[in-house]
């Protein structure tokens, strides 16, 4: 099993969980397993066609999967998957140190 780490902005859609163990041999299968357990995450992560929204960044062990094999990127047991949706808007000011930690899942 691999673990999906969720930033605070997604936790409300996953019962408040910071991390969730999922089965899957690829990033795509792992995301589908996650959405299967927490359907409210589907709208936040996936298009109606089932693809990742373009504003959702996915990292496997700290590496951006867009530069690997995307949703087909292989996942092994004990791998760490981080889902980070881009956040737009705000006051235009710099993100404070707590803001950056919140985006990183802290």
| Residue 96, pLDDT above cutoff 80 | no
In the predicted model, is pLDDT for residue 7 greater than 80? yes
Average pLDDT for 3-18:
96
Instruction: Count CB atoms within 10 A of the CB of residue 45.
Output: 20
- Is pLDDT of 21 > 70? yes
What CA–CA distance (Å, rounded) separates 37 from 22?
A: 9
CATH topology of domain 2-103: Ubiquitin-like (UB roll) (3.10.20)
d(CA 98, CA 102): 6
- How far is the CA of 23 from the CAs of 7, 26, 53, 62, 70, in angstroms? 20, 9, 21, 19, 17
- pLDDT over 90, % of the chain: 76
pLDDT at 35 over 70: yes
The 10s digit of each residue's pLDDT in 66-90 is: 999 999 999 999 999 999 998 765 5
According to DSSP, the residues that pair with 4 across neighbouring strands are 20, 81
Between CA 52 and CA 56 the distance in angstroms is 7
pLDDT of residue 103: 45
């Amino acid at each position: 099993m691999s673990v999906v780490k969720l930033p605070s902005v997604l936790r409300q859609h996953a019962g408040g969980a910071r991390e969730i163990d999922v089965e899957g041999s690829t990033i795509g299968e792992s995301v589908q397993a996650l959405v299967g357990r927490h359907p409210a995450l589907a709208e936040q992560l996936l298009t109606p066609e089932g693809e990742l929204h373009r504003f959702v960044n996915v990292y496997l062990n700290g590496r951006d999967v867009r530069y690997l094999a995307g949703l087909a990127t292989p996942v092994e047991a004990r791998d760490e998957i981080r889902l980070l949706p881009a956040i737009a808007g705000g006051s235009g000011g710099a993100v404070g140190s707590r803001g950056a930690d919140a985006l990183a899942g802290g």
